[in-house]
Amino acid sequence: MTIESDQPLAAVTLRESRNRWGEPLYSTLPVVDRSQQPASDPLIFPHVAIGEGYTTEIILINSATVVARGRLELVESSGKPMLVRSGADTVSGLAFQLEANGVSRYRFEGVAGLSVGFATVTPEPGSATPSGRPGSVLEPAPSSSHNRSPAASIPMGETPTS
């Protein structure tokens, strides 16, 4: 969708998806100001969580009128490459190519345990930096009681006991 205005405008886009129990999950999608020239500086997503039920999805949008190429890297908080599953492959990063005005979505799942850190999007020299948005989603393992938040069952003002 393209919106044009001769007045200042604020926009937000929402996406609804469903978890394994059919409950709605909402996330924001990136909004791109097409009147601004795309930058060529790296883009940093300061927080991603992957593993132990968390998955991360990164959406990249190329608002330029030419192809954008570069690398998407996932890094643990310690600075080491974050190993994740992307489809059938174990990776810590991947090359991207976005067609002019194109969009790509990348989904990452855990390999072993919980990994937290950040992601960087670095364009090739002479290429524009895409816009983007990361999102981490927690889908805990199902239990017989379907209680995914034990703290939610504690009455207000009471302290949980072990």
**What is residue 19's predicted lDDT score, i.e. its pLDDT?**
72
**What is residue 6's predicted lDDT score, i.e. its pLDDT?**
82
Check pLDDT > 80 for residue 25. no
Q: Which residue has the tokens 């490459």?
A: 81
Concatenated DSSP letters for 92-160?
SEEEEEE-TT-EEEEEEEESSS-EEEEEEEEEPTT-PPPEEEEEEEE-PPP-TT----GGGGSPTT---
Torsion 140-145-150-155 (CA) sign: positive
What is the number of domains present in the chain? 1
Q: What backbone phi and psi angles, to 5 degrees, belong to 108?
A: -125, 135
**Mean pLDDT score of the chain:** 77
Determine how many CB atoms are found less than 10 A away from the CB of residue 29. Answer: 13
In a domain, 28, yes or no: no
Higher pLDDT, 17 or 145: 17
For the domain that residue 123 is a member of, what is the CATH number? 2.60.290.11
The model scores a pTM over 0.95: no
CA 9, CA 60: separation in Å to the nearest integer? 22
In a domain, 52, yes or no: yes
**Listed residue (55, 10, 4) closest to 31, CA to CA:** 10
List pLDDT tens digits, range 35-62.
666 667 788 888 888 888 788 888 888 8
Check pLDDT > 60 for residue 148. no
In a domain, 127, yes or no: yes
In a domain, 148, yes or no: no
In a domain, 17, yes or no: no
**What is residue 97's predicted lDDT score, i.e. its pLDDT?**
95
In a domain, 122, yes or no: yes
In a domain, 42, yes or no: yes
